[in-house]
Amino acid sequence: MQMKTGVEQSLYAILILNMLPDRAVLPGEAISQQLHASPTYTQKILRKLVSADLITSVPGVKGGFKLTRKPEEIRVYDIYLAIEGKQSLYTPSGVFHDMLNLEEDSDCALTALMAEAENSWKSILKRETVASLYEEINTEYNPKVQALQEWLKEKMV
Q: What is the residue type of 150?
A: E
The confidence score (pLDDT) of residue 34 equals 95
The confidence score (pLDDT) of residue 12 equals 96
Contact by Cβ (8 Å): 42, 9: yes
Quote the pTM value: 0.85
What DSSP string describes 41-72?
HHHHHHHHHHHTTSEEEE-STT-EEEESS-GG
Written out in words, the top-level CATH class of the domain with range 5-155 is mainly alpha
Looking at the chain, the whole-number percentage of residues with pLDDT higher than 70 is: 96
Give 47-106 pLDDT, tens digit per residue. Answer: 999 999 999 999 988 899 999 999 999 999 999 999 998 887 777 777 776 778 777 776
Q: Residue 39 forms beta bridges with which residues?
A: none
Q: Where are the domains of the chain?
A: 5-155
pLDDT at 36 over 60: yes
